[in-house]
Every structure is written in C-alpha cells, then in structure tokens.
C-alpha cells in the first residue's frame, strides 16, 4: 500500500482558510483525527487540542489529543499503539526543536512513520511541518539543521508571510545544492498526494525556491 497524503501546513491550523482538511478527512474515510500537541508542550497544548476538536466537529469528524509532550511519553506503549492505529495524525505546536527532541529515535516516531507508510494521513503544522523535513531551518538563527527526515531535500518555512526579505535572502543563500525551500503561508499547505505529487492548497499559494532560486511547485515534481 502506498503512503497516505502528507500536508505541511504553514501555521494557523484549524481555521477557516484550511480547506485542505476536508480533503484529508475524505482520504481518511472520516476517521478520528489524533492530535499530537508536542510542539506546544510549554504553551498550553490543551488549547490547541480544544481548537482541533471544535474545528473537526464542524467538518463532521472527531478529534482527540494524545499528550506526547516529553520524551518518556514517546516511549509509552499505549501512545505507540494509538499512533500506529491512527488513520489521521496531526502534529502541532510552535517549537520545532522541542518536537524534534521528543520524537527523534523513539517508538512513537517509528509508529507514526509506519502509519503514514501504511496509508494514514499525516499533517504537520508550524513546527510539525518543519521537523518532518530534512534539513529544517533552526528558528534560533535561520541556519539549517537536522530535521526528522521523513521528507529529504525539502525545507519548509511556515508563516512565510511574516518573514522579511532579508531573512528569506539569507536562508536562500545558505541553501545546499539540490534543496527545495518552500515558504508556506498561514492557513495554507504544501500537500503530497499518495502518488508522490506535490501541490499547494489553502488560503495563499506557497513560494518555492530550488538551489536558492525562485521556482514553482512544478519543480518539486522533477528530479533535482
């Protein structure tokens, strides 16, 4: 079975512009959405889960949170089984460094990858979008650092509309050869369909740079 859809969301998740969630739910056959607020561990993760529950209820679906907030939580067999059995997993929060440190080389991460490769829908917003890629941008200084590597040679900048031209220019110039750098605005997503094709969806189009040069979504579907 091919992997499920992958949505890399630019932040502002669970709001009206996020029209892509309806399509993702359809692929998951309306199954429950499992929300991991790992990247918001120190910023009221329960509030994000509550917002997700209300948002998906409006789409005719259910959502629930799974408190994988610290590294021991990512070792818990009950959490591992919940992720492995999920049909739709959503990673949320604003701290990519914490999210990476919690999930890297853990049974929950292995279960998440296995679920996605088995056909489950996987979405990551803000920090969740960043860490699924490798490399990712280190928010502490703008340089590149290791992500979790689900998608290689792709870097996502969430909330791209908030970045200054100077910051974008510096990050572009640091891009290693062959890297696709994608700026994804709030309430928008870069979506990989099960056939491996990338497309933009949501409120505002994504901006794509390849080898540091302005390109387009079509470039993501070409060897580079």
CB count, 10 Å around CB of 197? 11
Range of the domain at 84: 6-221
Question: Is 38 inside a domain boundary?
Answer: yes
Provide the sign of the torsion angle of the four alpha carbons 158, 163, 165, 170, taken in this order: negative
What is the distance between the alpha carbons of residues 6 and 26, in angstroms, rounded to a whole number? Answer: 13
With CA atoms as reference, report the closest residue to 85 among 37, 38, 120: 120
Measure Cα distances from 193 to 23, 36, 157 in Å: 11, 22, 20
Residue 34 is inside which H or E element, if any?
Answer: strand 33-39
Question: Is 31 inside a domain boundary?
Answer: yes
What is the distance between the alpha carbons of residues 198 and 7, in angstroms, rounded to a whole number? Answer: 10
Percent of the chain beyond pLDDT 70? 99
Instruction: Give the number of domains in the chain.
Output: 1
Task: Look up residue 102 and give its DSSP letter.
Answer: H
With CA atoms as reference, report the closest residue to 127 among 117, 118, 140: 140
Question: Is 105 inside a domain boundary?
Answer: yes
Question: Is 40 inside a domain boundary?
Answer: yes
Residue 156 has phi, psi (to 5 degrees) of -110, 135
pTM tops 0.75: yes
Question: Is 160 inside a domain boundary?
Answer: yes
Q: What is the reported pLDDT for 140?
A: 77
Query: What is the CATH classification number for the domain harbouring 196?
Result: 3.40.50.880
With CA atoms as reference, report the closest residue to 99 among 76, 71, 121: 71
pLDDT in tens, the chain (224 residues): 479 999 999 999 999 999 999 999 999 988 899 999 999 998 889 999 999 999 999 999 999 999 999 999 999 999 999 999 999 999 999 999 999 999 999 999 999 999 999 999 999 999 999 999 999 998 877 789 999 999 999 999 999 999 999 989 989 999 989 999 999 999 999 999 999 999 999 989 999 999 989 998 998 997 64
Residue pointed to by tokens 């390109």: 215
Residue pointed to by tokens 């505002």: 204
Residue 113 is inside which H or E element, if any?
Answer: helix 107-117
Maximum C-alpha span of the chain? 45
Q: What is the reported pLDDT for 223?
A: 64
Question: Is 1 inside a domain boundary?
Answer: no
Question: Is 201 inside a domain boundary?
Answer: yes
């Amino acid at each position: 079975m091919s992997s499920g859809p992958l949505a890399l969301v630019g932040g502002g998740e669970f709001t009206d512009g996020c029209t892509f969630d309806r399509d993702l739910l359809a692929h998951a056959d309306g199954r429950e959405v499992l929300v991991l607020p790992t990247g918001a561990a120190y910023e009221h993760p329960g509030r994000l889960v509550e917002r997700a529950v209300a948002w998906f209820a409006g789409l005719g679906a259910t959502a629930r949170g799974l408190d994988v907030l610290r590294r021991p939580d990512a070792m818990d067999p009950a959490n591992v089984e919940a992720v492995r059995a999920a049909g739709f997993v959503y990673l949320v929060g604003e701290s990519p460094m914490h999210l990476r440190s919690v999930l890297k080389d853990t049974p929950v991460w292995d279960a998440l990858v296995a679920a996605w490769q088995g056909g489950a829908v996987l979405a990551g917003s803000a920090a969740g979008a960043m860490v699924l890629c490798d490399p990712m941008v280190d928010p502490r200084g703008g340089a590149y650092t290791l992500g979790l590597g689900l998608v290689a040679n792709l870097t996502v900048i969430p909330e791209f509309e908030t970045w200054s031209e100077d910051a974008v220019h510096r990050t572009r110039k640091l891009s290693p050869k062959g890297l696709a750098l994608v700026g994804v605005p709030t309430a928008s997503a870069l979506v990989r369909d099960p056939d491996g094709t990338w497309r933009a969806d949501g409120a505002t189009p994504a901006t794509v740079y390849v080898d540091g040069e302005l390109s387009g979504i079509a470039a993501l579907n070409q060897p580079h």
